[in-house]
Amino acid sequence: MSTATQSPARRVHIETFGCQMNKSDSEKMLGLLAKDGYHWTDEQAEADLILINSCSIRENAVNRLIGHLGRMKALKRQNPELVIGVGGCVPQHEKENLLKRVPHLDIVFGTHTFHKLPELVREFRENQRPIVSIVRQLDEYPEEIPVVREGQHHAWITVQHGCSAFCTFCIVPYTRGQQQSRTPEAVAEEIRKVAAEGYKEITLLGQNINTYGWDLEPATSLGQLLHYIHDIDGIERIRFLTSHPVNMRDDLIDAMAELPKVCEFLHLPLQAGNDEVLKRMRRNHTVEFYAEWVEKIRAKVPDMVLTSDFIVGYPGETEEQFLDTVESVRRFAFDSANTASYSPRPRTPAAMFKDQVDEAVKKERLNHLNQVVREVALQQNRRHLGSIQEVMVESYDEKRGNLKGRTRGNKIVHFEGNPRLIGQIVQIKVMDVTPNSLRGRMLVS
Ligand code: SAM
Ligand code: SF4
Ligand code: F3S
């Protein structure tokens, strides 16, 4: 996150772990604190307030958090005025335990209370007593939160809070609460605001975004929302994350096919390529069901970039079932996939299953899967060799000494050019590829 550093007394540093939702929440935390007189600093040692926006998706995320906080003890010794807070998903289940594990921690807040942050910090500074502010859910989420965005051309737009899917492995419904959609009007208003500020690209965020609007009165859908926001002036590219396959609907694919600003990018996590495992994960669909949607999607949007998440070593997963997952990566030709070893999480049903898979087996399976994911990603990227891609220029990559941008399909592209092009859309001919990115040459128009 980079904001102006000139500073009166108060400086804040926020470290963000986890998903895009956390990134987006951190931008709101910074917005709230900026209103209260705080300025951003890149340096923890210069900060009067350090916040960690934590993730709880896997056990190692929690251990990393505790390790991080441990290292901050020295900073507190150097600067007795320093206030340290932890927010995000971990406090939702660890609550005051965090204060016991980390005695130099001052404020523990959660996914539903970060809008109170300025108040909480002031209260701590006055009383010097540790504060825990956690609630399970809000009946209504505040709409008027100021935001200091990290990107200058791309903005995250939360359209849905929480998740009610309760996949057996996942802690998110416990840390983020039940699904609550924002109204299309509130979403459109935020998009109009970012467009007026010069943002050209938006990503709509929801943990189970394909059920967007099903809980509203009157009910609506993600497909309808895309139509509703499509013509907002200034916005050139629209994406959304994350789609649960079971909630895929025709009107969404039609919207993707019909609306020019909606990019050819779909993150559609399969999680496992075996029906028995999917059933035990409570994903509520089969591999063939997934295959039918992929076929439909590719028929209507032939250039669709398709990505997935996978978990290996889910309780009870046999070698054969794991190999079905490997096979599914080849079958569906994913452009990329996030992979992880299953990690038991508190309160989730799968953590209680007796047939947990040995850590060494999980590690081996993860390595195997990663190898195939890279191989397939490279094959997919090779298909773009020689093609001309419309690329949004995002940044100058100091290390490589070149520009970095993204295709409509969300692929990273490196190319030479003037940093003044940042924020513009240029045409790039793809000359070379790796599993993770494309390299190209800019066409002069
Ligand atoms: N809502 C999305 C979905 O339905 O796929 C993603 C939620 S989660 C933030 C991102 C990914 O983390 C999941 O897709 C899953 O692959 C992985 N994940 C969740 N719980 C996990 C666990 N207990 N162990 C390992 N990976 C996990
Ligand atoms: Fe977790 Fe499933 Fe909800 Fe995704 S849909 S956040 S994996 S419970
Ligand atoms: Fe992590 Fe919470 Fe996101 S657990 S992945 S930060 S919703």
**How many angstroms does the Cα of residue 54 sit away from the middle of ligand 3?**
8
**How many angstroms does the Cα of residue 26 sit away from the middle of ligand 3?**
12
Which token pair is 56? 């709880």
Give the phi and the psi of residue 79 in degrees, each rounded to 5. Answer: -130, 95
Angle at 209 between CA 208 and CA 215, to 5 degrees: 85
Band of the pLDDT at 7, cuts 50, 70, 90? very low
Q: How far is CA 338 from CA 19, 62, 243, 322, in A?
A: 12, 19, 14, 16
Which token pair is 285? 């669909």
Band of the pLDDT at 444, cuts 50, 70, 90? confident
Angle at 32 between CA 99 and CA 213, to 5 degrees: 95
**How many angstroms does the Cα of residue 190 sit away from the middle of ligand 3?**
23
What sign does the dihedral 98-310-246-17 (CA atoms) show? positive
Residue 165: predicted pLDDT: 97
Share of the chain above pLDDT 90, in %: 92
CA distance 283 to 273: 12
Count other Cβ atoms within 10 Å, centred on residue 62: 23
Task: Please work out whether the CB of residue 167 comes within 6 Å of at least one atom of ligand 2.
Answer: yes
**Residue ranges with strand state E in 151-235:** 154-158, 160-161, 180-181, 201-205
- H helix or E strand, kind and range, residue 131: strand 131-133
- In this predicted structure, the answer to whether residue 295 has a pLDDT above a threshold of 60 is yes
Rg (CA), the chain: 22
CA distance 271 to 186: 32
- In this predicted structure, the answer to whether residue 425 has a pLDDT above a threshold of 90 is yes
Domains plus CATH for the chain? 10-133 (3.40.50.12160), 154-382 (3.80.30.20), 388-442 (2.40.50.140)
Share of the chain above pLDDT 70, in %: 98
Per-residue model confidence as pLDDT tens digits over 387-396: 999 999 999 9
Residue with the bigger pLDDT between 4 and 286: it is 286
The number of the ligand 3 atom at minimal distance from the alpha carbon of 61 is 1
Instruction: For residues 195-218, give the mean pLDDT.
Output: 97
Whether the model clears a pTM of 0.85, i.e. scores above it, the answer is yes
Task: Please work out whether the CB of residue 170 comes within 6 Å of at least one atom of ligand 3.
Answer: no
Per-residue model confidence as pLDDT tens digits over 279-290: 999 999 999 999
CA distance 35 to 148: 10
Four-point Cα dihedral 62, 63, 68, 74, nearest 10: 130
Sheet holding 237-241, edge to edge: 154-158, 201-205, 237-241
Q: How far is CA 380 from CA 241, 385, 413, 435, in A?
A: 21, 10, 14, 8
Mutate-to-test residue for ligand 2 from 22, 170, 242, highest number of ligand atoms within 8 A of CB? 170
Task: Please work out whether the CB of residue 208 comes within 6 Å of at least one atom of ligand 2.
Answer: yes
Task: Please work out whether the CB of residue 90 comes within 6 Å of at least one atom of ligand 3.
Answer: no
Instruction: For residues 410-417, give the mean pLDDT.
Output: 96
CA distance 21 to 194: 17
Per-residue model confidence as pLDDT tens digits over 52-75: 999 999 988 888 899 999 989 999
Verify cis geometry, omega within 30 degrees of 0, for the bond prior to 242: yes
Q: Which residues contact 414 (CB under 8 A, 6 or more apart)?
A: 397, 400, 402, 403, 404, 437, 438, 439, 440
CA distance 178 to 126: 34
Which token pair is 169? 């492995």
Q: Are 346 and 356 in contact (CB under 8 A)?
A: no
Residue 400: predicted pLDDT: 80
Residue with the bigger pLDDT between 142 and 184: it is 184
Average pLDDT score over the chain: 95
Residue 346: predicted pLDDT: 92
